Structure 1
């Protein structure tokens, strides 16, 4: 069934072509796209001070199994640094593309060891085609499957694995940081980062991160403690990142070429907001306002909360379904979707690759 019919019902009488233009005018009139230089000055300074302070504390504590606690703290701080890189990638911080890009390189390649150019390429395709199989890289079939067809195209061993994917989802997040690092290496060794100048800078900063990270860890800790620190740090970094991004789209409708959706509906119907107060805003880096973020990617993070009232009201006027749920309920919806998709081959005849 088409997404238009299954999610929002009839579109009769709705001016779909002018909807986003009307909403954009309201948002601009409210000043919600204005830069927030003061906020980001404090946010960046505070986050980087905490990040550097964490490594200073690591050095001062020295050889101790208590450093596993430090690893957990550094995982949280690494994710907060990555959130700032996400904001820079959407040009939320500075007015010029170059300034945002250079900040993103410093935060991504140098700060947390992720190729910023690779992530920009991948994330831009996701924003252009959210949840659209074949166009959104975040729903490509891999370790997990996200549609019934993906599950049914797998071989016998793959289908057995997919039936367990809901149970394996959170354990697999323990490996997500490693997956991101490996993908970054592949991208830097390949042709994803097309700009020669930025490619050289990316490789240099990424190398400095890897060498510096391993040097600091093994200068301070003996081998077994160092290995344990890295394992805990990277595992929890992956879990935090995965738990921040998973609620946003997984389990939401997946558009197809047959769905006649304008920009407004494509972004709203495929996204899910997470309720919670300012603590959730902080923990999820503003990604809990996923609908607002997808409609206006360059909107500064602190403006998303204010924009929600405007956008939710507009969606009600336009009769566009606006999905919002609690944090733990969102994980429940994601796991139910993975469970249903993973077991869909039991109720259908396997399809062959076209």
Structure 2
């Protein structure tokens, strides 16, 4: 028996199953039983020391890059600063993600404003736009017509999107897996553009107007500083490299978590635990992967407990994994490079791999 269980045994944890239940009731209770156990073990408590340390280190690193940028002046070594800045902003994005999920503070207002300051003031992105989009993803991961992360775009994620393409677009679509990671070099620019489009749309709220001022000020000051300190060519190279590295690193931390997992038909109803576990994939790799992916490599646990502090996800993993094994819910976990291989293969063959959303492990398991 695992040490995390203490005086709580799996027999006790599953005690409710000893009583006859209708399938609907049994499925509904699966998540509530797990949630109660996790809460009783104190795994939803805030981790203030961890987050304050993390924020402090990120701000110190950002200050170091700014200092280095000023001291280097007109030099091609500034490209090293561009790469470093991109990596730091990825960590800023992870922290704003955690705060938007209310993982850092008990106070909703503290979490919301911390997310706005980190995303808008430091990274130059709208947390309001991102949270609206991300909430829909969490509510319906990989569900057709509901999850915006598999919606219509440059990359086709569903068979219907592939079928609608013709000519050169179809030829590219059949090979889109190979273009996926190069396309992530544009993800940083795309995030800024989407943020501005959302914030300057008609009907934006007062808070969004404030956020718009912060985002525009951050982007304006950043671009101005580049072109004042550096000549046109070096400034453009700095900006392009920073956006490219930022987009690749951020996109590469999100892409392995759901791409290539089962698609859910738009009308299918699922209980919460299966909806989150069966469409998510964990990534193995230890401390380096934990850092590089901002804890998103524990995607199953994050989807089950979105407000759980990042460092606790690793600790709750064995509980969730064993719980899923007992209840015969498939728990998927692979290595980092294997996950990228799966993503590329799926995107190159999306029309074949998921022509019928019901022909997948999810549908097979639910039919039994």
Worse-superposed segment, 256-265 or 71-80? 256-265
Aligned partner of residue 51 in structure 2, secondary structure: helix
Alignment partners' CA distance in 1, 2:140 and 2:165: 24
Question: 1:125/1:12 Cα in 2 relative to 1: closer, same or farther (>3 Å)?
Answer: closer
Q: Is the 8 A contact 2:199 2:209 kept in 1?
A: no
Q: Structure 1 residue 264 and structure 2 residue 265: aligned? A: no
Partner of 1:202: 211
Alignment partners' CA distance in 2, 1:257 and 1:134: 6
Alignment partners' CA distance in 1, 2:344 and 2:170: 17
TM-score scaled by length of structure 1: 0.90
Alignment partners' CA distance in 2, 1:78 and 1:258: 38
Partner of 1:158: 169
Partner of 2:234: 225
Q: Please list the CA deviations of residues 4-47 of structure 1 after superposition, one character each: whole Å capped at 9, or x if unmatched.
A: xxxxxxx9899312100110011111111000111111111111
Alignment partners' CA distance in 1, 2:97 and 2:266: 29
Q: Structure 1 residue 182 and structure 2 residue 197: aligned? A: no
Q: Is the 8 A contact 1:14 1:318 kept in 2?
A: no
Once the two structures are TM-superposed, the CA of residue 342 in structure 1 deviates from its matched residue by 5.5
Q: Structure 1 residue 131 and structure 2 residue 131: aligned? A: no
Question: 1:260/1:125 Cα in 2 relative to 1: closer, same or farther (>3 Å)?
Answer: closer
Alignment partners' CA distance in 2, 1:321 and 1:344: 19
Aligned partner of residue 156 in structure 2, secondary structure: coil
- Which of 300, 315, 325 is 2:324 aligned to? 315
Partner of 1:17: 28
Question: 1:191/1:18 Cα in 2 relative to 1: closer, same or farther (>3 Å)?
Answer: farther
Q: Is the 8 A contact 1:164 1:342 kept in 2?
A: no
Q: Please list the CA deviations of residues 279-335 of structure 1 after superposition, one character each: whole Å capped at 9, or x if unmatched.
A: 111110000000000000000001000010111111011110000000010000000
Question: 1:131/1:233 Cα in 2 relative to 1: closer, same or farther (>3 Å)?
Answer: same
Question: 1:56/1:105 Cα in 2 relative to 1: closer, same or farther (>3 Å)?
Answer: same
Question: 1:345/1:100 Cα in 2 relative to 1: closer, same or farther (>3 Å)?
Answer: closer
Count matched residues.
334
Aligned partner of residue 174 in structure 1, secondary structure: helix
Alignment partners' CA distance in 2, 1:281 and 1:316: 24
Alignment partners' CA distance in 2, 1:240 and 1:344: 26
Partner of 1:115: 126
- Which of 215, 235, 238 is 2:247 aligned to? 238
Q: Which runs of 5+ in 2 are unaligned?
A: 1-21, 356-368
TM-score scaled by length of structure 2: 0.87
Worse-superposed segment, 52-61 or 312-321? 52-61
Post-superposition, which runs of at least 4 consecutive aligned residues in structure 1 deviate over 3 A?
11-14, 257-260, 342-346
Q: Please list the CA deviations of residues 177-203 of structure 1 after superposition, one character each: whole Å capped at 9, or x if unmatched.
A: 1111111111011158x532x112101
CA RMSD of aligned residues (A): 1.9
Q: Which runs of 5+ in 1 are unaligned?
A: 1-10, 347-354
Q: Structure 1 residue 144 and structure 2 residue 155: aligned? A: yes
Higher relative contact order (CA 8 A, sep 6+): 1
Alignment partners' CA distance in 2, 1:172 and 1:165: 10
Q: Is the 8 A contact 1:61 1:67 kept in 2?
A: yes
Q: Is the 8 A contact 2:92 2:122 kept in 1?
A: yes
Partner of 2:110: 99
